[in-house]
Structure 1
């Protein structure tokens, strides 16, 4: 295995520059190994403490930092709070054996929250989220915490294709085909996200205009097409909401 005490590549490489911070050597080595198997990652650096991590974060550009929550001295939460003040902070993924710091992670704008032991498939999902965040506009994007089976995950608003009302909840549909329940009324959500391009197309559905691939008019009925994993899904637009949708699309295309 490559030396995990420093940088995995001696020369600059394309892709994300990652920093893994953990005081447990086996965890450190496992994460370095798994990150090395992902072609979206170019360089992997490591640190065994929060203080060492801060020195590396100040000395070099790091795109993505995997921070162990519980470490002697400065914790991963402490490090994240400090680097959050950087002009260009790295995207943060917290790594921990427990899930009781999920709220702190959300408040600090973490991309994801990984539970040990780390599964490669789950790690790849974290990297995908980091890439999505990097492509979004930080000033306009938002992170939404969603819970499933006692685990809190974080969904970027920019990845949501449409929102569907389900009783007292809404289901957030993302471009990768996943759905996440959030306890909030659809009307309030659309009002809050209107400036981000979300438009109500039905009494129970709102769509993110950034993800609309097609607008179809057939026999006087309107529908929109959005991505759903590797496929596309068609959403019907009510007659009542069609004029407003067309106006919003027109305004956005100017």
Structure 2
């Protein structure tokens, strides 16, 4: 089942989005879609904090009390990894959308074809991620995750690798950094950095000559000699990656 939520403080816009989702679900019964709607961002945040998140969010940008982009930042801080489609009347917040790893940015009035194409692309990627699940024996037991769940990994004590996830968890696995990279590299966004770091370029917010800042707020020192190559890989990612 795929859980999709809509948050828009304009009742008519909310109704329109719900009707399109009903039509989308009817035309694609294989996805088994369940929808939920919210009239305010704080209502959405409270639901996610208390009952868990959704697979996909249709999130209006301009809402009373809180911008949708700010609500998305709060969701990311809660460890929520939902695919976000921003719905807005302006492209002014496109950069903010990128910073919270939004999947799509649709300008109102968006079309049925535009929304359906965005949903098709997201669900196709989600299905691909499910096929790329890796199983690891960690210090806490057997864990299953996809490369998309991993922000970065680093070598810790006794040659353990520490996996930092989008949910804020840290998992320890007994293997080399190279062995772990082989598992993660099925996701094209992963790169090696020095001998001990594996990085998911999708979650890097900023690179300086001595540290990397991730969307999760984590700051990671790294070898200076790796700066030029990492900068080149990051710029290539920024220029050529597809949403």
> 2: CA distance between counterparts of 1:56 and 1:17?
13
Label 1:41 to 1:51 Cα distance change in 2 as closer, same or farther (>3 A). Answer: farther
Whether 2:6 is the aligned partner of 1:20: answer: yes
CA contact (8 A) 1:35 1:41 kept: no
Whether 2:36 is the aligned partner of 1:50: answer: no
Q: CA deviation at 1:75?
A: 1.5
Structure with greater proportional helix content: 2
**TM-score w.r.t. length of structure 1:** 0.48
Higher RCO structure, 1 or 2 (CA under 8 Å, sep 6+): 2
What pairs up with 1:138-149 in 2 under 5 angstroms? Answer: 138=148, 139=150, 140=187, 142=189
| Aligned length in residues | 138
Q: CA deviation at 1:41?
A: 5.8
Q: CA RMSD in A?
A: 2.9
- The aligned counterpart of 1:250 is none
- The aligned counterpart of 2:15 is 29
**TM-score w.r.t. length of structure 2:** 0.51
CA contact (8 A) 1:63 1:91 kept: yes
Whether 2:75 is the aligned partner of 1:89: answer: no
Deviations 1:93-126 (A, max 9, x none): 1100111111110111000001111211100121
- The aligned counterpart of 2:93 is 101
- The aligned counterpart of 2:233 is 192
> 1: CA distance between counterparts of 2:77 and 2:188?
18
Deviations 1:32-66 (A, max 9, x none): 11111122361111111111111222223411111
Structure 1, unaligned runs of 5 or more: 1-13, 143-155, 158-187, 197-254
Any idea what SS the aligned residue of 2:54 has?
A: coil
- The aligned counterpart of 1:112 is 104
Deviations 1:157-183 (A, max 9, x none): 9xxxxxxxxxxxxxxxxxxxxxxxxxx
Structure with max Cα Rg: 1
Q: CA deviation at 1:141?
A: 5.5
Picking from 89, 99, 114, the partner of 1:122 is 114
CA contact (8 A) 1:18 1:41 kept: no
What pairs up with 1:150-169 in 2 under 5 angstroms? Answer: none
CA contact (8 A) 1:66 1:93 kept: yes
> 2: CA distance between counterparts of 1:92 and 1:37?
20
